[in-house]
A = this chain, B = another copy of it.
Amino acid sequence: MENRKKNFSEWYNEIVETAELSDKRYHVKGMNVWRPYGLKIMQGIDGIIRRLVDSRDFDEVSFPVPVTKDQLMVEFEHVKGFEGELYWITRGGHENLDVELALRPTSEAAMYPMFSLWIRSHADLPMKLYQIVSVYRHETKHTRSFIRIREIHFFEAHTAHATYEDAEKQMVQYKEIWERLADELCLPYITNRRPDWDKFPGARYTLAFDTLLPSSRSLQIGTIHQYGTNFSENYDIKYADDDGEHHFVSQTTFGMSERLLAAVIGVHGDDKGLILPPGIAPVQVIIVPIPSESEDTIGYSRKIGDDLLKMGFRVRVDDRDNYTPGYKYNDWEMRGVPVRVEIGVREVGSGNVTVALRSKKGKKVMSRGDFVSGVTGLLGEVKASMKESADKLFLSLLTDSSSLDDMKKAIGATAAYWCGSKECADHIEAEADLDPLGFVNGTEDVGKCIVCGTDGKKSVFSKSY
């Protein structure tokens, strides 16, 4: 296996292939095949997201992939932001289509004409919908599994509210949802308010959740957008208030993608392979019986497996007879399984189990009973140590700069005061090869711009994916 810290890119490509997460040999370049193990992890992430938004009264919908050129053109700034990377369907059967259809790059143009039909009065608000679907971008840049691809597994929430204030409250709720998700995935992040030239096309403002990978580059893994009435005025989405007066709704969106999986791989992995947060691991506990003359170790293993299964854990007994225990240990370590249990003759004889946690060194012997009743605790231990390692990595990659010289020397991301102007950002880019991720969200931390010396706010700069 490649060295994760020294050759992150190579390590990343290798683990995606070795753990059979996705296959990039599909015959349309930049579009990858989800293999069973990768898809299961992604579905685990989707499951957490569904649970979080469902419990906050979001409803799931599913819109068609194609959207007409006319509908895309409705919000000019929006279509301008995407037109360079749209795929166009121009033929159906043997005929040219009367109206050309784009594969959605995101779903505003698909959804908002329907919002305009569905929303009539105050009673229909707030409307809170989401979908988990594929979106398409004809990327011209170099593609990379889960990070920059042409068919993207995507979560998007869309809400409509009576007032801008209500929409602002939704933005706060998004941040709470995000925090819970990031906790489950053990991902550290900073929330940055993107510069105006880098916000979502059509949004009033964009807040982005950025994490840092061992390559020292930042990865945007979630964004929330305040649209105000920018889209509703163009798509004519109005409601009647109690007096029968019509108002445009205020809208927000929340977008995330398979980049969440990329972050899980990159932030947590090590030179043995993946390390998966227990909440999304397709196998949480792997039990490896060590062959013996008798069948005892297999029977004993199966009983423990059945106990855990009944308690709702995702557990497997690896009783393949054509592999050595050592091979199996490496194999499941590579796949990132949080808890491994080894069952040999000694364990059966003493009524014990030997336990190894993927995220910590060493093994421990526990009584079988203590192990079974303590699995939740062990998974919690893995989660806690994953967060600790991830935070350590994150902090090592995020320094403070008080001069342009500091910025030039910075490894990873660096924080500095910035006035917010494009000119100063361009200067930093030219000198230090770093891009602005924006003002740190909600910061009261102000100081003089590191370039021009006028009033600035704490901001983060980095190279990014």
Contacts and interface: CB of A to CB of B under 8 A. Distances in A.
Interface of A: 23, 25-28, 31-36, 39-40, 59-68, 70-71, 83-94, 101, 103, 110, 113-114, 117, 129, 134, 138, 140, 151, 153
27 contacts: A23-B117, A26-B63, A26-B64, A26-B110, A26-B113, A28-B64, A28-B67, A31-B66, A32-B64, A33-B114, A35-B61, A36-B59, A36-B60, A39-B62, A40-B60, A62-B153, A65-B134, A66-B87, A83-B93, A84-B93, A86-B93, A87-B92, A87-B101, A88-B92, A89-B90, A89-B103, A90-B90
B138 A33 contact: no
B90 A88 contact: yes
A134 B34 CA distance: 15
Contacts of A35: 61
A33 B88 contact: no
Nearest to A29: B99
Contacts of A60: 36, 39-40
Contacts of A140: 93
A129 to B, nearest CB: 8
Given A63-B33, A65-B134, A71 B27 contact: yes
Contacts of A62: 33-34, 39, 153
Contacts of A83: 93-94
Number of copies: 2
A181 B103 CA distance: 33
Nearest to A133: B134
B103 A94 contact: no
A94 B84 contact: yes
A90 B101 CA distance: 11
Given A71-B27, A84-B94, A93-B138, A66 B33 contact: no
A67 B33 CA distance: 12
Given A87-B91, A93-B83, A103-B89, A64 B114 contact: no
A203 to B, nearest CB: 22
A84 B92 CA distance: 8
A63 B36 CA distance: 11
Contact of A65 (B32, B63, B65, B92): B65
Nearest to A117: B25
A86 B101 CA distance: 14
Contacts of A23: 114, 117
Nearest to A123: B322
Contacts of A70: 27
A260 B30 CA distance: 34
Contacts of A91: 87-88, 90
Given A86-B93, A138-B92, A39 B66 contact: no
A60 B64 CA distance: 22
Contacts of A28: 64, 66-68, 101
A28 B71 CA distance: 10
B64 A113 contact: no
Contacts of A86: 92-93
Nearest to A66: B28
A155 to B, nearest CB: 15
A157 to B, nearest CB: 13
A439 B297 CA distance: 53
Contacts of A59: 36
Contact of A26 (B87, B114, B138): B114
A86 B90 CA distance: 11
By Cβ-Cβ distance, the 4 closest A-B pairs, closest first, are A92-B138, A36-B59, A31-B64, A34-B62
A61 B87 contact: no
A96 B86 CA distance: 11
Given A86-B93, A90-B90, 4 more contacts: A27-B113, A28-B64, A65-B151, A87-B91
Contacts of A32: 64
